[in-house]
A and B are shown apart, each in its own frame.
Chain A
Amino acid sequence: MFTIPRIWREKKQRYRLEGSKCKKCSYTSFPPRKVCPKCGSEELEIIKLPETGKILTYTIVRNAPIGFTEFAPYAVGVIELEDGTRMLAQIVDSNFEDIDIGKKVKLVFRKLFSEGEAGVIIYGHKCKLI
């Protein structure tokens, strides 16, 4: 069930890749947080995340959940961006056999899903091998 207000509220993260950085210990997080999970500080600033990184681990989803079956099979991986921030992203436009732990990726703007033919389309970032 895709609720419009929530999707709209979270667009800064999906569209503009806004994360947060702890002013005290420099820990960066995506999505932005109000409390630093490392040092507990409440002083965090919004940052724009870098657009390149590397794959820490990945898998290929063959049985997709509802809303994603039209894209299956697709690769998805934990990406560590240049500044250390982690995110989970689909790895698109890449041959499955070329994907591996350690490979470099760059973020791209794609459709995440839509609620059928008549529903709103949600856009966000995935990544591809470079």
Chain B
Amino acid sequence: MREVAVVGIGITKFGALWDKSLRDLAIEASLEAINDSGVDHIDSMYVGNFSAGTLIEQEHIAPLVADYLGQNPIPATRIENACASGASALKMGFIEVASGMSDVVMVLGVEKMTDVTTPQAVYSLSLAADREYEGYQGITFPALFALVAKRHMFEFGTTRKQLSLVAVKNHKNASKNPKAQFHNIITTEDVEKSPMIADPLHLFDCSPITDGAAAVVLMPLEKAKKLNNHKIVKIAGIGQASDTIAIYQRESFVSFNATIKAAEIAYKMADKRPEDIDVAEVHDCFTIAEICTIEDLGFFEKGKGGEAIENGLTDIDGKIPVNPSGGLKGKGHPVGATGVAQIVNLVEQLRGEAGENQVKDPKIALAHNLGGSGSTVVVTILEVA
């Protein structure tokens, strides 16, 4: 397998973007990435998107995006793995370049969620759970993660405050990210006084409904070195794993096995350990998810995630900065785009172009993208080449 580099990045503003359609968002992010890369053509593209069918009544969006980018007849494929669609699409792009099949592959993640009402968007999201055996009991995504939170608090004594601090940190970081959906600073009291969605998760424990797109251009590392316009960042490792579709069939309710397995593969491939990671973007669809993830990734011992956040260990100037972009909570969560957006933000960090949220001199970064209630996880390790 050839080594693969990320040579171009692009990302739209995230938010409720009423005057932008899915096509608009896709084109904007794609053009930004292509122009940033300096390539003169692309060979193939992958589009990570969760539910254009239910959200904008449009399936088959990959050739649609290729068409509107003026890129027909290149091969274009949509990849869907719930909220891990973005990083799953990245893995396909990686394989196509690493295998030698193509030299320039663009990976786009895009989601347009605000054309439908909020209850309809929530319904769409719920399709990522087990429809028959969880959906029919009235489950929602906040409820699924609330089950995890309740158990994590029961087994390890994780506190309500520790959950709130995740949202507080991520909002603080997002406030300095011009492309983020939210720029307001919040306190733990704001979180705990926000409406209860599914005990113990309040509104501010939950990532929002968002429109947005992000794109990256991949090339073989050797050819990327010849482009000579940015610090070269390579994908040092990428791992993916699956788990049961329904959360009630999991071995553990306080740990996501797919995260552990995907990380194992990525660490092995990159020949790195958790302590080597300088900065991470993890999937904080709900505050509890960030706490479980920093444990499952090996940054902290199982059960000590809440404590770590409370002690500032995951702040931008902490031991392991987590979600300096604002994470899903602060930045927004356009489902299919998130996995690719994480890569864009980390490449910015590694290039030293992350603005006010710049972590000091990072060399190795980790992106964690989780789908559904943990049924798919993709972990990507990026390294300055």
Contacts of A112 in B (CB 8 A): 136-138
Is B246's CB under 8 angstroms from A88's CB? yes
Is A88's CB under 8 angstroms from B140's CB? no
Is B136's CB under 8 angstroms from A101's CB? no
Q: With A56-B253, A66-B123 in contact, is A77–B147 under 8 Å at CB? A: yes
Say which one of B37-45, B156-164, B196-204, B293-301 lies at the interface with A. Answer: B196-204
| Of the residues A30, A61, A71, contact of B140 by C-beta under 8 Å | A61
Whether B143 sits at the interface, judged by CB under 8 Å, is yes
Contacts of B135 in A (CB 8 A): 65
Measured between alpha carbons, how far is A74 from B139 in the docked complex, in Å? 10
| Of the residues A31, A56, A67, contact of B132 by C-beta under 8 Å | A31
Shortest Cβ gap from B247 to chain A (Å): 7
Whether B68 sits at the interface, judged by CB under 8 Å, is no
Is B133's CB under 8 angstroms from A88's CB? yes
Within 77-130 of A, Cβ neighbours of B (below 8 Å) are at: 77-79, 86-90, 101, 112-113, 122, 124, 126
Is A64's CB under 8 angstroms from B253's CB? no
Measured between alpha carbons, how far is A74 from B135 in the docked complex, in Å? 14
Q: With A78-B247, A88-B247 in contact, is A101–B138 under 8 Å at CB? A: no
Contacts of A79 in B (CB 8 A): 248
| Of the residues A13, A29, A56, A61, contact of B138 by C-beta under 8 Å | A61
Measured between alpha carbons, how far is A68 from B135 in the docked complex, in Å? 10
Per-residue CB proximity of A41-67 to B under 8 Å, as 1/0?
000000000000000111111111111
Contacts of B304 in A (CB 8 A): none
Within 185-231 of B, Cβ neighbours of A (below 8 Å) are at: 195-201
> Whose C-beta in chain B lies nearest to the C-beta of A30?
B133
Q: With A37-B244, A78-B147, A101-B151 in contact, is A62–B138 under 8 Å at CB? A: no
Is B196's CB under 8 angstroms from A62's CB? yes
Whether B142 sits at the interface, judged by CB under 8 Å, is yes
Q: Tell me the total A-B contact number using a CB cutoff of 8 A.
A: 102
Is A90's CB under 8 angstroms from B137's CB? yes
Shortest Cβ gap from B224 to chain A (Å): 42
Whether B119 sits at the interface, judged by CB under 8 Å, is yes
Per-residue CB proximity of B75-116 to A under 8 Å, as 1/0?
000000000000000000000000000000000000000000
Contacts of B199 in A (CB 8 A): 59-60, 62
Q: Which of A13, A29, A78 has the most CB of B within 10 A?
A: A78
| Of the residues A59, A88, A101, contact of B198 by C-beta under 8 Å | A59
Measured between alpha carbons, how far is A113 from B150 in the docked complex, in Å? 26
Whether B270 sits at the interface, judged by CB under 8 Å, is no
Is B119's CB under 8 angstroms from A87's CB? no
Is B122's CB under 8 angstroms from A63's CB? yes
Q: What does DSSP make chain A's interface, helix, strand, loop or mixed?
A: strand
Is B197's CB under 8 angstroms from A62's CB? yes
Is A64's CB under 8 angstroms from B248's CB? no
Whether B167 sits at the interface, judged by CB under 8 Å, is no
Shortest Cβ gap from A42 to chain B (Å): 18
Whether B120 sits at the interface, judged by CB under 8 Å, is yes
Is B136's CB under 8 angstroms from A76's CB? no
Whether B24 sits at the interface, judged by CB under 8 Å, is no
Is A63's CB under 8 angstroms from B140's CB? yes
Is B248's CB under 8 angstroms from A87's CB? yes
Is A76's CB under 8 angstroms from B123's CB? no
Contacts of B119 in A (CB 8 A): 65-66
Shortest Cβ gap from B152 to chain A (Å): 9
Contacts of B196 in A (CB 8 A): 60, 62
Contacts of B248 in A (CB 8 A): 78-79, 86-88
Measured between alpha carbons, how far is A45 from B33 in the docked complex, in Å? 54
Q: With A59-B150, A88-B246, A101-B150 in contact, is A122–B136 under 8 Å at CB? A: yes
> Whose C-beta in chain B lies nearest to the C-beta of A91?
B137
Shortest Cβ gap from B76 to chain A (Å): 28
Is A68's CB under 8 angstroms from B138's CB? yes
Is B138's CB under 8 angstroms from A57's CB? no
Shortest Cβ gap from B88 to chain A (Å): 22
Is A78's CB under 8 angstroms from B253's CB? yes
Shortest Cβ gap from B249 to chain A (Å): 6
Contacts of B197 in A (CB 8 A): 62-63
Shortest Cβ gap from B18 to chain A (Å): 23
Q: Which of B123, B136, B140 has the most CB of A within 10 A?
A: B136
A-B contact pairs, 19 of them (CB 8 A): A30-B133, A56-B253, A57-B150, A58-B147, A59-B146, A59-B149, A60-B199, A61-B198, A63-B140, A66-B120, A68-B138, A76-B139, A78-B247, A87-B248, A88-B137, A112-B137, A112-B138, A113-B138, A122-B136
9 nearest CB pairs, A to B: A59-B146, A68-B138, A57-B151, A60-B199, A88-B248, A78-B248, A59-B198, A57-B147, A86-B248
